[in-house]
Amino acid sequence: MLSFGKRISILRKELGLSQTELANQLNTSVSVVSRYELDKMTPSVDTAKKLAKLLNTSVGYLLGENDNAELFKDPEMLKRFQDISEFNEEDKKHIFYTLDALIKSVKLKSIA
């Protein structure tokens, strides 16, 4: 699994940014960005959020919670997650049950 720093480095390079350019956008020094990328320093939560935004990804991806840098960037999906998060637990349970059944059905269909 890629480290936090390695993920920053890869995404920065994919965007064609130098460490200097990223440092300028973060209002910090190149040495700080270098230490992040070398996993010698961990950014604050606010800085991690800013990094994720600048690198067009999610904090979850940077932290290694998932391996898909694009996973939580879809505004339609995020809106649905936001709506679901506001429901009571019983309604969430029903939605997840239905969603799980639909996902399973689609996966099985693709195998056949």
Domain with 18 in it: what CATH number?
1.10.260.40
pLDDT of residue 87: 94
Answer yes or no: do 58 and 8 share one domain. Answer: yes
The residue among 112 and 111 whose pLDDT is bigger is 111
Answer yes or no: do 50 and 100 share one domain. Answer: no
**10-38 per-position pLDDT tens digit:** 999 999 999 999 999 999 999 999 999 99
Answer yes or no: do 16 and 56 share one domain. Answer: yes
pLDDT of residue 78: 76
**91 vs 51: CA distance, rounded Å:** 35
Q: Which residues contact 11 (CB under 8 A, 6 or more apart)?
A: 55, 56, 57, 69
Rounded-to-5 percentages of helix, strand, coil across the chain: 65, 0, 35
Assess if residue 36 is contained within a domain. Answer: yes
Answer yes or no: do 56 and 8 share one domain. Answer: yes
The residue among 75 and 70 whose pLDDT is bigger is 75
Question: What total of structural domains would you count in the chain?
Answer: 2
Answer yes or no: do 82 and 39 share one domain. Answer: no
Closest CA to 72 of 52, 57, 51: 57
Q: Can you tell me the mean pLDDT for 67-87?
A: 78
- Which domain covers residue 88, as residue numbers? 75-111
Assess if residue 102 is contained within a domain. Answer: yes
Answer yes or no: do 50 and 98 share one domain. Answer: no
Assess if residue 95 is contained within a domain. Answer: yes
Answer yes or no: do 57 and 79 share one domain. Answer: no
Buried b or exposed e, range 61-93, using 16+ CB within 10 angstroms: bbeeeeeebeebeeeeeeeeeeeeeeeeeeeee
Assess if residue 20 is contained within a domain. Answer: yes
**59 vs 31: CA distance, rounded Å:** 21
